[in-house]
Chain A
Amino acid sequence: MIVQLLVSGLALGSMYGLVALGYHMTWATSRTMNFSQGHVVMVGAVVAYGVHVAAGWPLAPAALAALAVCGAFGLLVERVAVRPFFRAGSPVWLLSTIALGIIVENVVMLAFGKDARAFPSSLALKPVFVFGAGVYPQELLLPAVGLLLMGGTQLFYHRTTYGRRLKAVAWDSEAAGLMGIHVPRAVAVSYAVSSGLAGVAGLLLAPLLNVSPTMGTLIGLKAFAVAILGGLTSASGIVVAGLLYGLVEALVAGYVSTGAREIVGFAVVIAMLVVRPWGLGGARPARRV
């Protein structure tokens, strides 16, 4: 039983981490984020369903198309729901990104329908057994791809010029601007990448979770909890927090009660906000006097 729970927890936890990284990326560059990250997960899955299952494209181009749509959607979110308010220094982006998510959900309901649809995958047909615990191969793919992408983001930040630019914007956007970095563009790019990550999560989850207009809502919410736990400013903190959150959820559900799962999960978040509001991996902000 314990192995079963650990496997379930790691698989889900890595998805929470992946989606939560999206919150981190835009937060780092602009101190804003897309509160509808969960909806982007759904968009990735729905587009992939549309071109792969309904239109019959092979999987690889279908996946690329889905990621492209997610990236473009990220740019759209930044342009219409964040930038106008961000410039005015108003926190309205918080509401406008939620509103955009609701609009997208309803558009998808009209275009795609309300029913959950199956996304066939050879990796989610038959469980394999590891140490007595059953697991769908697709579930093993989740942490593998998740950790790979998390590592990739780190390399991007530290090893590429553009990544360093983004990091500079994250550090001090005013100074970065003075150094000749196009800050609005950097912010837009961070939104596209952030949505792309959510899109990857959508693609990976589609065969396991089924495709429906509401499939991403809960994931988005839990990923947000993970982002708070890990620290919005710390990518590595978020990765660790994601895995921990998944494990705690599975263990609480297995050994205490499934009803207690959400209670414990979100109670930990609140406790964290009180005790260590900058999160597991975040640095305590210096107080300006």
Chain B
Amino acid sequence: MRRGSLTLLTLAVLAAVAGAPAAQQAPIKLGLAAAVSGGSATSGEAIKRGLAIAIDEVNAKGGLLGGRKLELVVRDDEGNPQKGVTIARELVEREKVAAVFGGLHTTVALAEVPVWHELATPYVGTWAAGTNITRNGKKPNFVFRVSANDDEVDKFLVRYAAEQLKRGKPGLLLENTAWGQSNEAGLTKWFGERGVKAVGVEKFNWNDPDMSPQLLRLKQGGADVVMLVANAPEGAQVVKSKAKVGWEVPIVSHWGISGGRFAELTGELSEGVVFVQTYSFFGKQNARGEAVLKALKDKYGVKGPEDVTAPVGTANAYDALHLVALAIEQAKSTEGAKVRDALEELKAEYAGLIKTYKRPFTSEQHDALIERDYIMVVWKGGKIVPVAH
């Protein structure tokens, strides 16, 4: 009898030992649906790096749910909403991913919103800032975001112009796209709250070579600050044209100008342009910042912070992945609905790269980063340094 129970115990232990590697062989798949080719490839690559670095950290600690490793499945949306919907389905239905991370394009993210709800799969945006992506009216809401939100950014920019710079005659200079339009609405709204009306609204197209007519019109209108919504190449043309027309006026910019090589394109003219970021790899870093920079160097040959193109993509994605990992651990499951619930009621505190997240999401708030988490940065000698308040 005694001998028999011992045998049983031995068998049980053997079974447990044999069972462990079997569990390890079933990784938890996570998806990335973003533009990784074409015009916005830089953003996709930056997001991929942030996710990969965080996944390596989780896996190095033994993975999730008792030893299951994380695995990233990347699909290219080509910046095309139609394609975005197709790959969203593919990631969930064929690859069986537990959650999906999103890319740069607001249009794509909006088109995918119904898919995540139909397939009950949590989605965490890491870049696209369109207000309605997270404020989409769905209950329960499967769409989360660790990035900026246009509406919050506009509020942030307006507050900076009005309180820090004490300016009351803003001129808006926007790219002629849906993104420019949504910010025109946001900026107008938040300036309106302060009883301020823009003295002029000017638009430009991608690859416009000369912005002096736009600037001259704003100058004639009496603008004392320029609110800029542009990507790096057009932003560069704006500051070059501004030097040309000889207009000394502060520029307060959305984060588009951080996506390319603004400093290289403008040289010393970049000096003094302030813009919003969720994170900066320049200056003193917290422990995670040091670790991420080291991983970027070791894994991708990045030489230093000035070499991190599209830094917000990497930073946002890194924190987003750790939050999802915590939610999976809390849900004790990879089931979409359970992970979603866990994200909304995250118990663990996460001391992340961008900030310390305490209860980052609620049923009402699906943006982990809001106005007070943003930082204002400025170009100084080709580097991005936080603005001292």
Interface string of A139-160 (1 = CB under 8 A from B): 0000000000000000000000
Please tell me which one of the listed residues A5, A118, A135, A214 contacts residue B213 in the complex, with CB atoms under 8 A apart. A5
A115 to B45, CA, bound (A): 13
User: Which one, A19-27, A76-84, A179-187, A205-213, is touching chain B?
Assistant: A205-213
Cβ of A127 and Cβ of B207 under 8 Å apart?
A: no
A133 to B216, CA, bound (A): 11
Cβ of A117 and Cβ of B261 under 8 Å apart?
A: yes
User: Which one, B92-100, B243-251, B334-342, is touching chain A?
Assistant: B243-251
Closest to B220 in A: A1
Cβ of A116 and Cβ of B244 under 8 Å apart?
A: no
A57 within 8 Å of B (CB atoms):
no
List residues of chain B with CB within 8 A of the CB of A212.
207, 233
Cβ of A115 and Cβ of B213 under 8 Å apart?
A: no
B40 within 8 Å of A (CB atoms):
yes
A112 to B378, CA, bound (A): 28
B107 within 8 Å of A (CB atoms):
no
B260 within 8 Å of A (CB atoms):
yes
Interface residues of A, dominant DSSP? mixed
Looking at the assembled complex, report how far the CB atom of A3 sits from the nearest CB atom of chain B, in whole angstroms: 11
List residues of chain B with CB within 8 A of the CB of A262.
205
A134 to B219, CA, bound (A): 14
Closest to A250 in B: B213
Closest to B265 in A: A118
Given contact pairs A118-B264, A118-B265, A135-B244, A210 touches B233 in the complex (Cβ within 8 A): yes
List residues of chain B with CB within 8 A of the CB of A133.
245
A4 within 8 Å of B (CB atoms):
yes
Instruction: For the complex, count residues of A whose C-beta is within 8 A of B.
Output: 38
B28 within 8 Å of A (CB atoms):
no
A259 within 8 Å of B (CB atoms):
yes
B225 within 8 Å of A (CB atoms):
no
Cβ of A127 and Cβ of B246 under 8 Å apart?
A: yes
List residues of chain B with CB within 8 A of the CB of A209.
207, 209, 237
List residues of chain B with CB within 8 A of the CB of A127.
243-244, 246
A129 to B246, CA, bound (A): 9
Given contact pairs A253-B214, A258-B202, A259-B203, A210 touches B236 in the complex (Cβ within 8 A): yes
Looking at the assembled complex, report how far the CB atom of B238 sits from the nearest CB atom of chain A, in whole angstroms: 12
A239 within 8 Å of B (CB atoms):
no
A99 within 8 Å of B (CB atoms):
no
A209 to B246, CA, bound (A): 19
Cβ of B209 and Cβ of A208 under 8 Å apart?
A: yes
A259 to B206, CA, bound (A): 13
A217 to B205, CA, bound (A): 12
Cβ of A136 and Cβ of B213 under 8 Å apart?
A: no
Cβ of B216 and Cβ of A118 under 8 Å apart?
A: no
A-B contact pairs, 28 of them (CB 8 A): A1-B220, A4-B212, A4-B245, A5-B212, A5-B216, A8-B212, A109-B39, A109-B41, A115-B261, A115-B309, A118-B261, A118-B266, A118-B267, A127-B244, A129-B246, A133-B245, A134-B246, A209-B207, A209-B209, A209-B237, A210-B233, A210-B236, A210-B237, A214-B39, A214-B207, A253-B214, A254-B216, A254-B217
